[in-house]
Amino acid sequence: MTGERMTGKNVWSIVLAGGDGERVKPLVLRWLGRHRPKQYCTFVGTRSMFEHTLNRAALIASPKRTVVVGRVRMRPCSRTLP
């Protein structure tokens, strides 16, 4: 992928970010000292998994045609959205 959108203007991206991160909870608790869903953790570099996913989605569809599905109680993602 070169950073350019790879498809036409009718394509949508759907990002699923509603999990609780239960499978990696023990690791995150040891690492951060508190629970945080894995999509909001920064495992590589300086961006969260959620931010990496949004960047990949932008290669396929315009941010205006990207839908994020999550839980209302998980507000951290709203600070990441364009």
What rounded mean pLDDT belongs to the chain? 80
- The string of pLDDT tens digits covering residues 33-57 is 988 888 888 888 999 888 999 999 9
Structurally, the chain folds into a number of domains equal to: 1
Tokens found for residue 4: 């350019």
Residue 8 lies in a domain: no
The residue ranking higher by pLDDT, 1 or 25, is 25
Distance, CA of 69 to CA of 52 (rounded, Å): 16
Band (pLDDT 50/70/90 cuts) for residue 75 is low
Domain that holds residue 74: 13-79
Residue 59 lies in a domain: yes
Q: Output the pLDDT for position 1.
A: 46
State residue 55 phi and psi, 5-degree precision: -65, -40
- pTM, two decimals, is 0.70
